[in-house]
A and B are shown apart, each in its own frame.
Chain A
Amino acid sequence: MAAEMALVKPISKFSNTTPKFGTPRIGSYSKFSIIRMSTTTPTPPAAASTSAKPSKKGKTAIKETLLTPRFYTTDFDEMEMLFNTEINKNLNQDEFVALLQEFKTDYNQTHFVRNKEFKEAADKIDGPLRQIFVEFLERSCTAEFSGFLLYKELGRRLKKTNPVVAEIFSLMSRDEARHAGFLNKGLSDFNLALDLGFLTKARKYTFFKPKFIFYATYLSEKIGYWRYITIYRHLKQNPEYQCYPIFKYFENWCQDENRHGDFFSALMKAQPQFLNDWKAKLWARFFCLSVYVTMYLNDCQRTAFYEGIGLDTKEFDMHVIIETNRTTARIFPAVLDVENPEFKRKLDRMVEINEKLLAVGETDDIPLVKNLKRIPLVAALVSELLAAYLMPPIESGSVDLAEFEPQLVY
């Protein structure tokens, strides 16, 4: 995967100690290149990167692919219409009011305080693991920061039409800013910092209509919760792998992610047209599949990170997928049958194909030959994806909306 962050730059006052970073990226890491959306943005001279491969002209590039953490933007006017309390007089505000209380409570107001353990631990991490750690921090920081940008803007735009919803968005952007800031501080332990201002301007934004923002963001918050809590609980049980103290913060941290997901749940429940027809079911399955596959392929290219903290990458991912899917079944009208062993077999085949694709990119062939070699692989990947998508789904949904509710025994 090519999260080639041109934006990681050495902090100048520490730059004497950065040569450790000169290690080239391990080969399997870069370029997931089926449908590559690369934006080549020249960076300011100051942002000379240690991690991106400099081109001949000395410029570095942000390469974005399908698997890069995304920056989202949406149709803010439509959002305003959806939650305008004047237009939607019967918009159920109870859940929003309850959520606002919960976000105002601010459970983690004093949680994200660093100590000297961080720097000490970072100094002990060396070799390939160090590079992988940096990448983990970069990607996590980018993801949190992208949430901050989106929520902040939504908070601003909805202020007039629905102050309650707007304030929740603002409070969520507070959480995301805190998380991104904490991760960026973590990068400073490795003598790096993400230039978030530059990131804001230089990154390509993916446009999603509001309903797709709801599906995608719901899933990314809930999957974030399951990833963090799984790592936390695993390391609590196996403290010998606790090589960097940031993981100790994950238990409280991921409760924020979980609450953010709940808010998107409430947003969707307030707009049942996004949940209750056959199109919604198809989209729900599509978003589940893309989020799960993206994570699986990403993580399988970074097994060193998960092994470094004592996890089996595929087992970890399957656990996260199964739990996220169970959670998602509380709101999405349909989810994938991820507990069917066939689903994992398909994911594993996708990993194999993706590895071959990556290998093609690593060869010295001219671009045309590379692309020709990719065609059958891309076709194979697409057919696996399609087959996974078409596996019989599981009907699901919130009991407040679902048709099966009357038969339910609690």
Chain B
Amino acid sequence: MMLGMATLTLSSSTAIVAANTQPNNNGNKLLGTRNQTLHMPLLSPPSCNLFLPLNKNSTRPFTTAVASVDSDQLSSSDPPSKSEANKYYFLVANAKFMLDEEEHFQEQLFERQRLFGERNIEQDFWLVIEPKFLDKFPDITKRLRRPAVALVSTNGPWITFMKLRLDRVLTESFVAESLEEALASNPTNLEFEKPEKWVAPYPKYEFGWWKPFLPFAQKEVKS
């Protein structure tokens, strides 16, 4: 039996996947009204995709699988409570740590972006350089080297996971009226010194790799 598991051919498993994603996509169109946050039941069967695409024109970021929220909202047409819908989770550390030293972090963000693209899910995570919301968190700012960079998402459990991965970061959450307000930032120039000795048998990821993850307004700022 274990042999069977281990030698599972990929072609057959991908076929199953394809068969399962289609109905989900369609089903979601019915649920995906503007400003609605979908809370998927966390313990959905593996064949059921966690991430469902939302109407492209939606102005609200799409919230995926919030673990602590009851799943009956999935079928309910009531809009979710305001605080939940506008809740943003973040982790923050100095820019050098976030963008220059932790190269696996770059891989994770691109992996997630790829997945969202493949499954047609609206982006729900951003990098914010020197976010304005930090002013609300004096306990964080007094321990933070600047410039700082935050990873912000409407998906709380994902931020919990990213905190587990990065470890040397501080986390919090806040409520904001709009995406613009949540992701507002102060213009900042980033500069990283070249590492003293680079011994890896490959080059560093290029400066500026993070640009695709900045909220729209910040992309214009030359870093």
Binding site for B on A (CB under 8 A): 94-95, 97-102, 104-107, 109-110, 112-114, 145, 148-149, 152, 167, 171, 173, 177-178, 180-182, 184-185, 195-197, 200, 225, 229-230, 233-234, 236-237, 251-252, 255, 258, 262, 265-266, 269, 311-312, 315-316, 318-319, 322-323, 330-331, 398-400, 408-410
Q: With a CB–CB cut-off of 8 A, which chain A residues contact B93? A: 410
Q: With a CB–CB cut-off of 8 A, which chain B residues contact A233? A: 200-202
B179 within 8 A of A: no
Q: With a CB–CB cut-off of 8 A, which chain B residues contact A322? A: 199
B214 within 8 A of A: no
Q: With a CB–CB cut-off of 8 A, which chain A residues contact B76? A: none
Interface hits, B85-115 → A, CB 8 Å: 92-94, 97, 104, 107-108, 111-112, 114-115
Partner of B5 from A152, A252, A255 at Cβ < 8 Å = A152
Most chain-B Cβ atoms within 10 A of its Cβ — which of A101, A229, A255? A101
Inter-chain contact A315/B199, CB cutoff 8 Å: yes
A105-B115, A182-B10, A311-B201 are known contacts; what are 4 more A-B pairs with Cβ within 8 Å? A107-B111, A233-B202, A236-B202, A237-B202
Knowing A149-B2, A196-B2, the reply to whether A184 touches B104 (Cβ < 8 A) is no
Inter-chain contact B143/A408, CB cutoff 8 Å: yes
Output the least CB separation between B104 and chain A (Å).
6
Knowing A197-B2, A319-B200, the reply to whether A410 touches B167 (Cβ < 8 A) is no
- B93: nearest chain-A partner, CB-CB: A410
Between-chain CB contacts (< 8 Å), 24 pairs: A97-B42, A97-B157, A100-B42, A100-B67, A101-B157, A104-B44, A107-B112, A148-B6, A152-B2, A177-B8, A181-B6, A181-B8, A195-B3, A196-B6, A229-B107, A230-B200, A234-B201, A255-B108, A258-B104, A258-B165, A262-B164, A269-B164, A315-B199, A316-B201
- A255: nearest chain-B partner, CB-CB: B111
Inter-chain contact B168/A330, CB cutoff 8 Å: yes
Closest 10 CB pairs of A and B: A197-B3, A233-B202, A98-B160, A98-B157, A98-B161, A330-B167, A97-B67, A410-B93, A234-B201, A101-B157
Inter-chain contact B161/A262, CB cutoff 8 Å: yes
Q: With a CB–CB cut-off of 8 A, which chain A residues contact B7? A: 181, 184, 196
B11 within 8 A of A: yes
Output the least CB separation between B187 and chain A (Å).
22
Inter-chain contact A145/B158, CB cutoff 8 Å: no
Inter-chain contact A178/B158, CB cutoff 8 Å: no
Output the least CB separation between A201 and chain B (Å).
10
Partner of B9 from A99, A181, A229 at Cβ < 8 Å = A181
Output the least CB separation between A158 and chain B (Å).
15
Q: With a CB–CB cut-off of 8 A, which chain A residues contact B104? A: 225, 229, 258
- A104: nearest chain-B partner, CB-CB: B50
Interface hits, B2-23 → A, CB 8 Å: 2-3, 5-11, 13-14, 17
In the assembly, what is the distance between CA of A150 and CA of B181, in Å?
47
- B108: nearest chain-A partner, CB-CB: A255
Inter-chain contact B2/A410, CB cutoff 8 Å: no
Q: With a CB–CB cut-off of 8 A, which chain B residues contact A408? A: 143, 168
Knowing A178-B8, A181-B7, the reply to whether A409 touches B143 (Cβ < 8 A) is yes
Q: With a CB–CB cut-off of 8 A, which chain B residues contact A100? A: 42, 67
B31 within 8 A of A: no
Inter-chain contact A255/B107, CB cutoff 8 Å: yes
Partner of B42 from A101, A110, A236, A237 at Cβ < 8 Å = A101
In the assembly, what is the distance between CA of A94 and CA of B111, in Å?
23
Q: With a CB–CB cut-off of 8 A, which chain A residues contact B11? A: 113
In the assembly, what is the distance between CA of A98 and CA of B42, in Å?
10
Most chain-B Cβ atoms within 10 A of its Cβ — which of A104, A258, A269? A104
Partner of A105 from B13, B51, B169 at Cβ < 8 Å = B51
Q: With a CB–CB cut-off of 8 A, which chain A residues contact B6? A: 145, 148, 177, 180-181, 184, 196
Output the least CB separation between A73 and chain B (Å).
14
In the assembly, what is the distance between CA of A180 and CA of B3, in Å?
10
Partner of B160 from A94, A145, A148, A230 at Cβ < 8 Å = A94
Interface hits, B162-180 → A, CB 8 Å: 164-165, 167-170
Q: With a CB–CB cut-off of 8 A, which chain B residues contact A97? A: 42, 67-68, 157, 160
Inter-chain contact A112/B10, CB cutoff 8 Å: yes
Inter-chain contact A104/B46, CB cutoff 8 Å: yes
Inter-chain contact A398/B167, CB cutoff 8 Å: yes
Output the least CB separation between B167 and chain A (Å).
4
Inter-chain contact B50/A99, CB cutoff 8 Å: no
Knowing A101-B42, A229-B104, A230-B200, the reply to whether A409 touches B145 (Cβ < 8 A) is yes
Output the least CB separation between B159 and chain A (Å).
8
Output the least CB separation between A310 and chain B (Å).
8
Inter-chain contact B201/A200, CB cutoff 8 Å: no
Knowing A107-B111, A251-B107, A252-B111, the reply to whether A410 touches B42 (Cβ < 8 A) is no
- B64: nearest chain-A partner, CB-CB: A101
B203 within 8 A of A: yes
Output the least CB separation between A237 and chain B (Å).
5
Output the least CB separation between A236 and chain B (Å).
7
Output the least CB separation between B72 and chain A (Å).
18
- B161: nearest chain-A partner, CB-CB: A98
Inter-chain contact A101/B158, CB cutoff 8 Å: yes
Inter-chain contact A105/B50, CB cutoff 8 Å: yes
Inter-chain contact B144/A410, CB cutoff 8 Å: yes
Q: With a CB–CB cut-off of 8 A, which chain B residues contact A255? A: 107-108, 111
Knowing A98-B161, A106-B46, A229-B107, the reply to whether A148 touches B5 (Cβ < 8 A) is yes
